[in-house]
Amino acid sequence: MRQAPGSILVYVGLDAVGDGLMKLPFLRALRTAFPAARITWMAGKGHTVYAGSLAPVVAGLVDEVLDDAKIGSRVAELFGHNPLPGRSFDLIIDTQRRLLTTLILRRIRHGRFISAAADFRLSHVRPPSGWRRPAAMVGQLMMLVELASGQPAVPAAPLPQDSNAERLADGLLPPGSTYVGFAPGAGGTHKCWPLGRFMELAGLHAAEGRVPVFFLGPNEAGWAPEIRAALPNAVLPLQGVDSAPPMLTIALARRLVAAVANDSGTGHMLAAADVALVSLFGPTPPEKFAPAARRLTVVKAQDFGGTEMDAIPFNAVAGALAQALTDADTAPAPALL
C-alpha cells in the first residue's frame, strides 16, 4: 500500500476570487484524502486569494500559502538551483498544463509528481486508458486528487467556521425560521434570470411560511427597494454590511434549507456551504462553470429552446426548488470545523 505523503505542494498560476471559490471542492477533497499532510499552496505567477480575502475560508485546509512566488515562467528557471531552495515535498500536484512551467516545477525536490501537462507524460501516475478530460475545471482537479490517492475524490473535509461571522449570521438570520435563499445577481446582466421571476418565486415561499433571503452584491444594491416593497418579510442580510466578507455569506448560507442562484460567485459561496442549490444557466456552459455543490440541480436555458436566461420557465425553477427542499429534509447536516 502506498504511503500517504507527509507534505504536499499544490501549484497554481494565480487565483482570483472566482478561481478560489471554484477550487474549494478540490482543496476539500485533497484534505479528505490526506488529513495529516502539510499542504502548501503556491501561486507562482501572481497572487492568490487564499493569501487574502479567502484565507479564513481555507484555514485548516491549507497549512501554508506561498503568494506570487514568481516560479514557473522563465526558461532560465530550468537551469541552476532548485526553484524552492531548501524545500522538498513528498508530493507535488501541478494544476496547470503549460509544459515549460511543469518542467520547472519538476526541478523542485519531490517524491512523486502529478501533472496533466503533455497528456500526463511527465506525471508519475496517469489516468486509465480511455479517460477523457472533464469539461469542468473542478472535475479536472478532482482527477488529480484521485491519481494522488488512488481513491475517488470526495470533498468531505469541512470548511472552518469564523466565530465573528457566525455570531453576525445568527443575528441576521436568527434560529426559528425556515430560510430560502435567492441570489439574483451575477457578473453580468446576461447571466441573470429576470429579477421579477426571483421575486415571484420568493413570494410563493413566503406565502407558505418560509422567509426569503436575498443575497445582493454591490452591483445589485439598487434592487433592494423593489424587493423590500414586493416582499416585506424578505431579509436582505448583506445590505448595510460594509465589505461583507465571503465567510459571512457562507455562514448565512449554512442557515438556509435551499437556494436558487445564477452562474455567479455568490452561487459558488452557497455551494461551499453545502446548501441544496438550484443553479441557473443560459449563455455560459454549466458543464464548465456549475458549482460543485453536494446537492445541485442545474436548470439551463438550452433545455427550453434558447440561450438567454429569460428562456428558463418559471415553473421549471419552481419545481426544482420544491424538489431541493424535499431533498434537504432528508439530507444529513454537513460537518463543520
What the chain holds in terms of domains, given with CATH numbers, is 7-149 (3.40.50.2000), 163-330 (3.40.50.2000)
The set of residues, in sequence order, having a beta carbon less than 8 Å from that of 117 and lying 6+ positions away, is: 94, 96, 97, 98, 99, 101, 102, 123
- Beta-bridge mates of residue 9: 40, 92
Alpha-carbon gap, residue 62 to 60, rounded angstroms = 6
**Placement of cell 433571503 in the chain:** 213
pLDDT of 5: 97
pLDDT of 336: 43
Contact (Cβ atoms closer than 8 angstroms) between residue 44 and residue 71 = yes
pLDDT of 258: 97
User: pTM for this structure?
Assistant: 0.87
pLDDT of 328: 75
pLDDT of 333: 47
For residue 70, the tally of other CB atoms under 10 A from its CB is 13
Q: Which three cell numbers stand for residue 42?
A: 503556491
- Helix, strand, coil percentages (3-state) for the chain, rounded to 5, are 40, 20, 40
Alpha-carbon gap, residue 166 to 148, rounded angstroms = 34
Q: What are the start-end ranges of the H helices in the chain?
A: 17-22, 24-33, 99-105, 117-120, 137-149, 163-172, 195-207, 224-230, 246-253, 265-272, 286-289, 314-330
Q: How many CA atoms lie less than 13 Å away from 73 in the CB half-sphere?
A: 11
Q: Which three cell numbers stand for residue 2?
A: 502506498
Best CA proximity match to 227, nearest among 258, 206, 246? 206
pLDDT of 240: 80
Alpha-carbon gap, residue 232 to 39, rounded angstroms = 47
What is the side-by-side strand order in the sheet with 296-300? 211-214, 179-183, 256-262, 276-281, 296-300
β-pairing, 256-262 vs 296-300, is unpaired
pLDDT of 224: 97
Backbone angles phi, psi at 94, to 5 degrees: -95, 115
Q: Is 59 helix (H, G, I), strand (E, B) or coil?
A: strand
Q: What is the pLDDT of residues 193-234, one digit of tens each?
A: 999 999 999 999 999 999 999 999 888 999 999 999 999 999
Ranges of residues in the chain with a pLDDT under 70 are 1-2, 329-337
Q: Which three cell numbers stand for residue 283?
A: 449563455
